[in-house]
Amino acid sequence: EAGVTQFPSHSVIEKGQTVTLRCDPISGHDNLYWYRRVMGKEIKFLLHFVKESKQDESGMPNNRFLAERTGGTYSTLKVQPAELEDSGVYFCASSPTQGGYGYTFGSGTRLTVV
């Protein structure tokens, strides 16, 4: 079974530009999560999809961040316009409908805003 796939693995953009991160969850997993780790800090929750619906988006920092999961398969996280403090590693994770403990994480996208 393929794991959680994230693209790109690295992205360096200038402040003010737009970046879109993509996550392909494990096939059949209804739950999809986005997390972010800023250097030296804890991994923080951003939001949770159940299929195509946003179950919990309480962790989204501000309205410059937009997450979508059309069709309930892959998800995108767009940052527009990017700011310096958006730099960090963005992780996606997925879990099946039942038993959502300790879900599977992707390798992350390292975003650097300069």
Partner 1 sequence: GQQLNQSPQSMFIQEGEDVSMNCTSSSIFNTWLWYKQDPGEGPVLLIALYKAGELTSNGRLTAQFGITRKDSFLNISASIPSDVGIYFCAGQLGSGYALNFGKGTSLLVTP
Binding residues (CB under 8 A) for partner 1: these are 4, 9, 31, 33, 35, 40-45, 48, 50, 55-56, 59, 91, 93, 95, 98-102, 104-108
Q: Please choose, from the candidates 3, 29, 36, the residue with its C-alpha nearest in 3D space to the C-alpha of residue 110.
A: 36
SS3 60: coil
The residue (of 45 and 73) whose beta carbon lies closer to partner 1 is: 45
DSSP 12-29: EE-TT--EEEEEE--TT-
CA dist 67 → 2, 13, 39, 40, 55 (Å): 23, 19, 22, 25, 12
Q: Is the Cβ of residue 16 or residue 61 nearer to partner 1 in the bound state?
A: 61
**Dihedral through CA 39, CA 44, CA 47, CA 50, nearest 10?**
120
Residue whose CB is less far from partner 1, 17 or 74:
74
Nearer to partner 1, 16 or 38 (CB): 38
Smallest gap, in angstroms, from Cβ of residue 81 to partner 1? 26
**Residue 45 beta carbon to partner 1: minimum distance, rounded to whole angstroms:** 4
CB of 2 to partner 1, least distance (A): 14
